Amino acid sequence: MNHPGELLSAFLDGEVTEEERSRVAHHLAGCEPCREELSDLNSSRTAVRSLLLLELPAGLVPPEDDGVEVPILARRPPVWIAAAAAAILALFVGIATILAPPTTLEVRLDQLSDQYGARTSLEPAITPRTPVPVIERGAGTIE
């Protein structure tokens, strides 16, 4: 096999196909110069990754609303989620009403949702990977 060359950096980053990974690994086992090149590339990569993550200067980003973080769940879930949740709860109530003896007709919805897991269906289906607080629109400006 020819020397992998540019594939070596991609190999370090895991940006190769399985076939390429296998080919490069096999080549490295028998090629000292390529192992040295890989080591050099890795030291550069490590050096840049070791750079400190700098703090943002004050004032560049809109401030939080009075520093009070509103839980992400305060976001209004899409209408279909609320409708689905209501339907599931209604179903549970219906089943519980049918199955339960007459003396336990008084059903507490919060217990039902705990018991059957319906609570989870009330949470937004899609949440950002990084939680962001909900703020008033237009609360912050860039000077």
Partner 1 sequence: MLENVPLTWEEVARVYGRKIYNFAYRLAGNPDDAADLTQEVLLRVKKGLAGYQPGSFEGWLWRITRNAFLDDIRRRKRRPTAPLPDEVDRLAGHSSPAPDEILASVRLGEDIQAALLELPFDFREAVVLCDVVGLTYEEISTAVAAPIGTVRSRIHRGRKMLKGLLR
31 vs 135 by CB, closer to partner 1:
135
Cα separation values, 143 from 56, 57, 64, 135, 140, Å = 15, 13, 16, 19, 9
**Residues between 59 and 88 with contacts to partner 1, criterion CB under 8 A:** 60-62
Stretch that binds partner 1, among 79-87, 99-107, 115-123, 130-138 (CB under 8 A): 130-138
What would you measure as the largest C-alpha separation in the chain, in angstroms?
82
Q: State yes or no: residue 29 binds partner 1 (CB under 8 A).
A: no
- Token digits of residue 114: 């705990």
122 vs 135 by CB, closer to partner 1:
135
Q: State yes or no: residue 52 binds partner 1 (CB under 8 A).
A: yes
CB count in 10 Å sphere of residue 11: 20
